[in-house]
Amino acid sequence: MADSAIVITSVNKAGGAGQITLLVGTSGGGEDECLIYMTLNRVEIYASKTNNRATATKIGDTTGTFVHGNLGVSETWYYWFRAIDNNSPPLVGEWYPFSPTDGVVATTSNQVPPPNSVGTPQLQDGAATAQKIANLAVGSAHIQALAVKTANIDNLQVTDAKMVTMSATKLTAGVVTATLTINAPLINGGSINGARIRIQATDGTLVEPGIIFNSTVAPNVSSVRISQTGANGEAAVYGTNLGTGPQSHGARFNSVPITGPAGGAALLGLPPASGGYAVWCENGTVGPFTGSHPGFIDKDAPDIPLGSILVDGDVIDRRGVDDTVTSVSLSRKAMDPAAIGILTRRHALDEASLHAVVDGSNVPPMKFDETVSPQQRLGSGALALRKHRETWKQSKAKRANWAGRFDGVVINGLGEGQVLICGRGGDIEKGDLACTSDLPGIGMRQPDFDLGGQRAQLVTHYTVARIREAVTFSDPDEVKLVACIYLCG
């Protein structure tokens, strides 16, 4: 049974002079038909001179047309094909043809390539002649009078001792293909360039890290630095841990000086078996700490000064018990218990904006949710995938609707910061509490409670912040930005 849902539907072949052209047709695996990792990556082509797949070897890959070249006259070949998708590791489709003894058969023509068929475009100045090659001969003058003789290489064996040193100048523009270990002397300050480098264990389970950076660096130098550009790109670093144990975290970071006490240590993306936290401090604390909440404000709401107090409106959406998002507006009455915090940022929304209550991806999700069992993931999983994709479509529709109606706001509710305060509650001493006032978005000194003739301030359901500096006002409507500890969380 095939792992991939991609099906090879047809193969057209044509024999020519010294070559056979193959055109492969497939169904399924289009970008508009399925998840991106289930799309077609390539079709592998195997060939044999006998009609038996057991004797066939792989000759190449294609996504459409493939030319099997350098063949003889009237030469017959048998071909088998299979589709590979973009999964990691990739899933493989059924053989085409399915029968191991019924390959697609094709024969080259009985003609040979005409004389000088490799002409000016390929050789610039025409056919290759002895006269043109003569000046390229490797003679004693080219190798500094050191002729290569049997005596020089003993029994014609090339060894490390005879090679001595291979430098960049001796391999100019060349390519060395080999199974080897690349260590510092081999690279020696050079660079590895390529559009993509993939490191994948092909011989079982890794028993040590796949990549190790162990270096002493100069001041202000990092062992690893990543820089990327591109509209609507993914995160510069994207990690997924598919392990199932309680230690299968997304990432672990720590500071352990060679001398002195250890610094902070944190985990990112903890597995469910360890609580499912996004961030976990193994050592140390989170700091500087200011707790912020997301919110939505009407797109046509006027500009609001930073430091203004916002109040809850309607609940727009929710996900689980961890996340909700509400519409918010400026506070407009004194001692309003609906105060949620202080405006710190306002930003435009678009369909790809990140939200706490829905998936923020602009492409279909590439993972199962927690409701999908390992058996479903390894089995057909079709129903679960369909459900997951439908949820993503609903999330995308929500994000589009919100982008048309709202701007996003970031609201400070915990930690330290500043808040706009007026003089309607009187002057303020260090440690006084603040609440909303009748001025839109502006706080004031919270009124005292009378405790049997003793005046006191108490934290209540409408307290917004504790003030950290003494402030005087020349007018009840004078407004100042005042240091505080937020108490809305």
User: Which span out of 388-392, 415-419, 449-453, 454-458 was modeled with the highest average pLDDT?
Assistant: 415-419
Average the pLDDT over 416-437 and give the result.
Answer: 97
Q: What are phi and psi of 271, to 5 degrees?
A: -70, 165
As a whole number, the mean pLDDT across the chain is 80
User: How far apart are the C-alpha atoms of 322 and 480, rounded to whole Å?
Assistant: 35
User: How far apart are the C-alpha atoms of 277 and 265, rounded to whole Å?
Assistant: 15
Give residue 105's Cα distance to chain centre.
Answer: 43
Higher pLDDT, 105 or 254: 105
What pLDDT was estimated at residue 395? 83
pLDDT > 60? residue 218: yes
pLDDT > 50? residue 256: yes
Dihedral-angle region of residue 331 (phi above 0 means left; psi in -120 to 50 means alpha; beta otherwise): beta
Higher pLDDT, 413 or 256: 413
Give residue-wise pLDDT tens across range 113-172: 666 555 444 444 445 555 555 555 555 555 554 455 555 555 556 566 655 555 555 455
| Cut 0.95: pTM above it | no
| Fold observed for domain 7-107 | Immunoglobulin-like (2.60.40)
Domain residue ranges in the chain: 7-107, 251-283, 289-360+386-489
Give residue 59's Cα distance to chain centre.
Answer: 33
Give residue-wise pLDDT tens across range 286-332: 778 788 989 999 999 999 999 999 999 999 998 888 889 999 999 99
Tokens encoding 156: 């014609």
